[in-house]
Structures are given as C-alpha cells and as structure tokens.
C-alpha cells in the first residue's frame, strides 16, 4: 500500500494510505452499476408505464434529444453531486471506504470537485480509462490528471486507528465546556489542530503553538482565552469541540 504524506498549511506531515488502483476501479464499477440501474428505470419502466416514449416520438429531433439529455443529467453530474454532498465520496467510494481529500490536508472545495469532474472527460471517458490508469500508476501519489489539477488525492479510510490518532478526546461525564463557538470549526479543522498540537507540544515549538492559538481564536471568533497557556487553551478547545459535536 502506498503511504501518502499530506503536508498541512501548518507544515505538519500527516500520513494516509492512498487508495489502490483496484479500490478505485471497483468503486467506479459500483457507481456505474447504480447509474445503469437508474437508466434502466428511466428508459424502460418510467417510459413504458407512463407512455412517455410514445409522446416523445411525436416531437422533432432536437426536442427528443433535449428530453433525453434532461433525463441523463443525474448520470452526467452523478460524481460531482455526490462528492460535493458526501465530502469527497460517491456511493461506490463510501462502500469501498475511500475518499477524496486535498493534498494540503483541508477538505476539498466545490471548485476542486468540479475540476476533478471536468477532467473525467480525458481521464476516464477517453480511451476507456486508460489515461487515468496510466496517470495513477505513474504518479507518486496515485493521482489521475483530475487529481493533479485539483490538488487532491484519494485516500483509504480503512486504517486502524486509536483515539489518539483521531479528533476524539476522552471526556469526563461532568466536563463543562468553555467555548461554545468551537462549533464553527469542522471535523477536518479539529483533526489538523490536534495533529499540529501534538507535534508542536512534543517538540516544544512555541511559535507554532502561538500561531495555532491565534488561528483558532480567529476562526472560532473567540475574543479572549480563559487559560494561562497556549497548551492549556488548545487542549480545552479540542475537548470543547468533542463535547459539542458529540452532544449535537
């Protein structure tokens, strides 16, 4: 399995396992089964039951093409829609437990998904996916052209991790949070904060801790910290985030 090292904007390296070619092909196949099932339902069940086919046949050629394209839009935008709604996953990717992420450690944006989707024309639809296969195999991060252009990669979520490797924190039952505004952070923000915090704390990198504390206060809109040190403050932030997200 290829180890993929993602460097965050805080210059912290996070290791992931890149999704294999086989996993990506299988996920792609599952997605196509779903799309094919949809087309069968539309063109054979819906058209026959409601006699839409007979009505379409009376229209001019351009109108027929327009209606067919309308029904095919969910297939055309299938990958883009699901990756946007499911944070980098399609049903196929979710079943195979793989996900699209940014190389810089942040969650991919709509623009990134659009770029990946657009490059499918070259990667997958041309030459039956040969271009994508060659690109993934030759890339040191298992990226197809769409990934390289969008600055993304597909990782495996199957790694066995302990609580210390996740955004989760051990909380006491009587834990009282300090900063309700931490809910402005995302899971990805919390993961990056925890990973950066662990490395900076261990190496006593106080400059990074100061920058991290400042960024947290800016994003979470915290005006004043209640703890004496940056280490105590960030530790509380992580606990508060877990408290609120687990009880929402």
Domain layout of the chain by residue ranges: 3-156, 164-246
Residue appearing with tokens 């779903």: 34
| pLDDT number for residue 247 | 60
Question: Global pTM?
Answer: 0.60
pLDDT at 240 over 70: yes
Tell me whether strands 13-18 and 3-7 are parallel, antiparallel or unpaired.
Answer: antiparallel
168 or 95, greater pLDDT: 95
Q: Cα–Cα distance between 215 and 202 in angstroms, integer?
A: 20
| pLDDT number for residue 164 | 42
Distance, CA of 105 to chain centre? 10
- Scanning the chain, the segments in alpha helix (DSSP H) are 21-40, 47-49, 52-56, 61-76, 78-85, 91-96, 110-118, 120, 130-138, 145-150, 187-203, 206-219, 230-246
Summarised one tens digit per residue, pLDDT across range 88-135 is 999 999 999 999 988 876 678 899 999 999 998 888 876 667 888 888
| pLDDT number for residue 49 | 59
pLDDT at 36 over 90: yes
| pLDDT number for residue 141 | 82
Summarised one tens digit per residue, pLDDT across range 208-237 is 899 989 999 998 899 888 888 999 999 898
| pLDDT number for residue 30 | 96
pLDDT at 82 over 90: yes
Do residues 238 and 177 lie in contact, with contact meaning Cβ atoms separated by under 8 Å?
A: no
Reported confidence tier of residue 79, pLDDT bands at 50, 70, 90: very high
Q: Cα–Cα distance between 97 and 156 in angstroms, integer?
A: 6
pLDDT at 8 over 60: no
pLDDT at 72 over 50: yes
Token digits of residue 93 = 């990717």
pLDDT at 165 over 60: no
% of the chain beyond a pLDDT of 90? 29
202 or 27, greater pLDDT: 27
| pLDDT number for residue 149 | 93
Q: Cα–Cα distance between 96 and 10 in angstroms, integer?
A: 30
163 or 30, greater pLDDT: 30
Strand partners, 98: 156
Reported confidence tier of residue 160, pLDDT bands at 50, 70, 90: very low
Reported confidence tier of residue 192, pLDDT bands at 50, 70, 90: confident
Local structure of residue 20 (DSSP, 8 states): P
What integer best gives the mean pLDDT of the chain? 81
Q: Cα–Cα distance between 35 and 165 in angstroms, integer?
A: 36
């Amino acid at each position: 399995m290829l180890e993929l090292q993602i460097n965050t904007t805080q210059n912290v390296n996070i290791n992931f396992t890149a999704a294999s070619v086989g996993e990506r092909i299988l996920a792609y196949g599952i997605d196509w089964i779903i799309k094919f099932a949809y087309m069968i339902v539309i063109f054979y069940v819906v058209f026959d039951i409601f006699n839409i086919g007979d009505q379409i046949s009376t229209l001019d050629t351009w109108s027929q093409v327009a209606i067919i394209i309308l029904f095919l839009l969910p297939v055309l935008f299938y990958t883009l829609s699901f990756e946007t709604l499911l944070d980098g996953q399609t049903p196929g990717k979710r079943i195979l437990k793989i996900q699209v992420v940014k190389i810089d450690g942040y969650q991919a944006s709509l623009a990134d998904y659009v770029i990946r989707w657009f490059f499918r024309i070259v990667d997958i639809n041309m030459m039956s996916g040969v271009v994508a296969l060659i690109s993934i195999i030759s890339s040191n991060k298992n990226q197809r052209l769409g990934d390289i252009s969008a600055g993304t990669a597909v990782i495996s979520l199957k790694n066995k991790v302990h609580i210390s490797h996740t955004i989760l924190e051990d909380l006491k039952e009587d834990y009282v949070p300090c900063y309700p505004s931490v809910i402005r952070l995302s899971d990805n923000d919390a993961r990056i904060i925890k990973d950066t915090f662990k490395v900076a704390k261990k190496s006593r990198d106080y400059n990074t801790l100061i920058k991290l504390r400042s960024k947290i206060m800016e994003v979470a809109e915290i005006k004043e910290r209640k703890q004496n040190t940056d280490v105590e403050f960030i530790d509380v932030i992580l606990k508060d985030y877990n408290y609120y997200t687990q009880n929402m």
